[in-house]
Structure 1
């Protein structure tokens, strides 16, 4: 295959654009829009949304590159079917692509101005620390909960960067914005746990999953706790925007669906249920951002 063909296969397996682009577009647009709504300011121009999307796309691709670096040894031992261990592409190539996106991110932040570059550098600093497991890889691996929380801490930083596109030019953010930033943290945990709820027959030695760590039932319950936290934070955003009832109805309906799916997985953790949990986690997060960012617009939440 040509290099372009190999990279296309790589993205399909490790950074699927068909699933990633819509989620990141919703996430970035919702963050910028909600920041304006909470502050009672008009929406920024279209360029702000373009900068937000490309910055978050760059960051999420760099997160994938970071995973390839820190998981390289384990992938070679336990997941030889992945693109890098099987020789489809090299780690050096993927890292080079990740590094090549750094100047683009800097240019985008400088074009926007208003000090956005400092929020980008802060996010990159945490991403770099994550890549090298904060200098204590063995200690972190032995403590999967600490590992989860420390790595998901990058989500509020990314959201602070995205919302900063709107609030930095005005000098300050709306006080209630912390609810949305906290929602990003809990939703990050929802996604991360949801994609590691596996069927028993798919578990393999050397590959850490939450279903393997806690068992299917307990892992599903812990996943639901994070979904519940997200639901409460989403309702809090609704209260802050003045549309508490509409937010509460949607949050409760989505939470009820998640309860049903989690109970189904816990009772029969089949490969099909495994895929359903990964899907429902993504849909929940997408729904949260779509609701937070766009429902106030639909209900007339701008001045």
Structure 2
């Protein structure tokens, strides 16, 4: 396997010639902010475990060694998704997105591959040591990730059918969710609670909320070769699609709340979150500014985090503190 050296007019010698740790710091800041993504994935994992335990009527939380290992695995699994995407999108990035770290030579494909191997070995060893039972789910996730990396061997078709491209790739999220929740029910030798189906569905739809929300742009921010939903559908249709996905996710989250036995308070919280998130969308329809498009992106992240905390994290924290 050859790894061509990436350089272009946006390359900066002072960055590209720096120590790897400094270059990786810049890379993660631009492509996988460890603090921001880590916080979101930690909430995702904590909520999945919490929701499972609440649905099963279990008291307390899982052992923190188990949870810490699980968080490391889930965060680094999403990091592997990012690395796979760098290889998968290499041609388009080099042609249309030259300011990104890889096309401008900040990190090389060889370095990315080495990081991916190190992360995978660490995941395998930790899971093998702490809970070998989880390796089957882990293997399914890695298998699906490999298929994603090859675009399921139908790359050209998927590029022409964006709906199927997005819906097929988003399955990686509930798969990782199954792993996270399995830290409870699987390790406890229990049957997975029925309510998890709706929790996984919320996770899947949250991924689509994030995907659409970060690709809503003003006309002056559209660029050739950079796929956005506003360029594909137009601003009005893109906004209404995002709102429609929020509504579906809201309905699924209410169903998940019912299975967990939450009361009216949860429904009020979920409804309030929905209203807060759709406000910038309607404002964007009236005044199409770059600032409002960024607020929609932030609202997507807030929505996702709020969904997880409302369905699992918040109720579990309340139980741990007050019961």
TM > 0.5 fold call:
yes
Tell me the alpha carbon deviations over residues 241-274 of structure 1, each in whole angstroms, 9 at most, x when there is no partner: 2223112111111111122111122333322122
| Offset of residue 299 of structure 1 | 5.2
Shift in alpha-carbon separation, 1:112–1:178, aligned structure 2, 3 A: farther
Matches for 1:41-80 after TM superposition, within 5 Å: 41-42=58-59, 43-80=61-98
Deviations 1:92-148 (A, max 9, x none): 211221121111111222233262100000011111111111111110010011101
Q: How does 1:169-208 map to 2 (within 5 A)?
A: 169-171=187-189, 172-208=191-227
1:112 aligned onto 2:130: yes
Residue in structure 2 matched with residue 283 of structure 1 by the alignment: 302
CA distance in 2, matches of 1:95, 1:229: 38
State the partner residue of 2:273: 254
Cα deviation, residue 169, structure 1: 2.1
State the match for 1:31 in structure 2: 48
Residues 298, 80 of structure 1: alpha-carbon distance in 2 compared, 3 angstrom cutoff: closer
Using the TM superposition, give the Cα deviation of residue 230 of structure 1 relative to its aligned residue in structure 2, in angstroms.
Answer: 1.4
Equivalenced residues, count = 303
User: What is the CA RMSD across the aligned residues, in angstroms?
Assistant: 1.6
Name segments (4+ residues, structure 1) moved above 4 Å.
298-303
Match of 1:266 in 2: 285
Q: Which residue of 1 aligns with 2:32?
A: 15
Tell me if the contact between 2:43 and 2:313 (Cα under 8 Å) persists in the aligned partners. Answer: no
Q: Secondary structure at the match of 1:224?
A: helix
Return the alpha-carbon distance in structure 1 between the equivalents of residues 137 and 42 of structure 2.
19
TM-score (norm 1): 0.96
Preserved CA contact (<8 Å) 1:30 1:290: yes
Q: Max radius of gyration: which structure?
A: 2
| In 1, Cα distance between equivalents of 2:186 and 2:81 | 25
Instruction: Name which of 215, 228, 241 aligns with 2:247.
Output: 228
Quote the Cα distance in structure 1 between the aligned partners of 2:141 and 2:238. Answer: 29
In structure 1, distance between residues paired with 2:132 and 2:193: 17
Q: In 1, are the aligned partners of 2:195 and 2:260 still within 8 Å (CA)?
A: no
Residue 187 of structure 2 is aligned to residue 130 of structure 1: no
Q: Distance in 1 between matches of 2:70 and 2:222?
A: 37
1:143-168 alpha-carbon deviations (Å, 9 max, x no partner): 01110100001111010011011111
Deviations 1:17-57 (A, max 9, x none): 23111111111111111111111113211112102210111
SS of the residue 2:127 aligns to: helix
Output the CA distance in 1 between the equivalents of 2:106 and 2:249.
38
